[in-house]
Structure 1
Amino acid sequence: MRELARRHLGKMMAGAAVAAVATAVLLGVTLPGEAGAGDQAKAGSAQQDAIPKDGVVEAAPREGDKGVGRDPLTDDEIKRAEQIAVASNGLRRSARDVEGDRGPQHLSTNLSEVDPTQSGAQAAERRAEVVYYDYKADTVVTRTVNLDSGKVENTDTAHGVQPPPSPGELREATQLLIADPLGAGLKKDYKDATGKQLTSTDQLELSGMVFRKETVAHVPSGLTACGEHRCLRVVTKVRNGPWIDTRALVVDLSARTVGRLG
């Protein structure tokens, strides 16, 4: 059980690390460069030390289909919760994702908090909170799924709420940036760093955050809908290479346009 918790905790910590990097870029903090040869040698030595002397590495225990109590959601539970949430009340048919395809854009799935009004067996039931963004209506849809009964117990729809972006949204925002005239500087910096043309998001490491217009003094006319629209600032890095400064660019995913600050 402790191994399972540590694995899920690792997933959450990885997500927190991405957010921390993005924040560091916006604040002008110097970001870490590539590891030197000495650091790589130390890392390799540490990995070798972690292998048992007899060369036998014990396989990780199989994750169960269902967690117990307040255990993090298992992969099976996450998959089932998302299937139930999107199928309920026609959300798959009515909503649109970041690319305009049928179905909402998945943002996150987490274990629900315990409802203080519930007790006993009801409180012990496993529930998942699945969060989507519907680009057709520019709304955040949050569904509480009871994993024991297989039913959606609650649906909350909110306008003007902007949760952190998903990896799919970051990729789409960057692709729009690459295709836009305002992305010329990004493509030039990439070519200067690598000698190659930038044509795909696969050539970059991405992180980013929601753009909140109240954090800047002057909002360009093309970005005034941000907040009601889904707008992102993308942080880009050449794979195994330097960071490229794109802090002044904002992608409106709802309108599929790019704007520049300042």
Structure 2
Amino acid sequence: MRRALHRHLGKIVAGAAIAVAGTAVMAAVTLPGQADADDTATGGQTAGASVPGQGQAAAPPAVVEEAPPEGETGTGGDPLTEDETERVVDLALNRQLRTAAEDVEGDRGPQRLGVELAEPEPGELDTQDAPRRADVTFYDYADDTLVTRTVNLDTGDVEHSASQRGVQPPATREENTEAARLLIADPLGAGLRADYRDATGKELTSPDQLLLNAMVYKATPGAQPAVLDDCGTHRCVRLFPKVRNGPWIDARDFVIDLSAHRVARLNRD
């Protein structure tokens, strides 16, 4: 069995050491906090109403969305509650993000990356009743933009908003799953499928059959095929898949460009 496995991706790796053995440059990025960039994500688009008397029916009255219920709340520096987390995500999603952005699967709305309690403002450090704020981060696959929005939990207002390109935080579980789906379906995934079959006697058809870890990949000039030159601006990952209740499979030679929905093999010296 061990010799049979070597003819595919090279080897099935026992243990978690593979997760730190990659040689490509990985992007370790701190999520942006309260940036001073222009607020490019706060302006919603309002549909124009029809003009009476010009053969068109008058537009119906505008509907104002109700603020999401507060639910269970924390105090001070307590971690965000589940209710608070869902509420700030809803508050951070303005109309533009809901309708124009895309997630990793190409569906409407941005990819949610993370929600965390924000640090107090400089003038509030010694204030016991400082408002609780949360930083919400999304990735818009429509234009490869990282969007960070700071929501005041007390007022429900979005106090800061920033958009950046070329910033790549760690991938989420949903992004890892999509990367695995692309690799499994691609001709370059033949070795992965064969190794899984050798390890389990079954066909690999779904990411659900694997335990997945990934690291963001950023292009280094001359160290990869040209098809990966956009990685860093595009959102790209390398997968470290593991058979459920089984061994790790070495897939380090492959980079999945989630923005372009394609798989490439790294050049190896």
TM range (shorter): 0.7 to 0.9
2:67 maps to 1:72: no
2:224 maps to 1:228: no
Structure-2 separation of matches of 1:231 and 1:207? 13
Match of 1:158 among 150, 153, 164: 164
Give the superposition deviation at 1:205: 0.2
2:189 maps to 1:183: yes
Give the superposition deviation at 1:172: 0.3
State the Cα deviation string for residues 129-165 of structure 1 (Å, max 9, x = none). Answer: 0100000010000010111111111111000000000
Match of 2:153 among 147, 156, 160: 147
Aligned with 1:136: secondary structure?
Answer: coil
Aligned to 2:91: 84
Residue identity in the other structure for 1:229: H
Higher relative contact order (CA 8 A, sep 6+): 2
Give the superposition deviation at 1:221: 1.0
Structure-2 separation of matches of 1:227 and 1:168? 19
Aligned to 1:170: 176
Give the superposition deviation at 1:219: 1.6
Scaled by the length of structure 2, what TM-score is found? 0.72
Is this contact kept in 2: 1:115–1:123, CA < 8 A? Answer: no
Scaled by the length of structure 1, what TM-score is found? 0.74
Aligned to 2:4: none
Is this contact kept in 1: 2:19–2:240, CA < 8 A? Answer: no
Match of 1:206 among 209, 212, 226: 212
State the Cα deviation string for residues 83-111 of structure 1 (Å, max 9, x = none). Answer: 1111x252111100001100000001000
Is this contact kept in 2: 1:22–1:209, CA < 8 A? Answer: no
2:199 maps to 1:193: yes
- Give RMSD over aligned pairs: 2.0
Match of 1:24 among 20, 24, 31: 20
List aligned pairs for 1:60-139, cutoff 5 A.
65-86=72-93, 88-118=94-124, 124-139=130-145
User: % of aligned pairs identical?
Assistant: 54
Bigger mean CA offset, 71-80 vs 217-226 = 217-226
1:237 and 1:228, CA in 2 relative to 1: closer, same or farther beyond 3 A? same
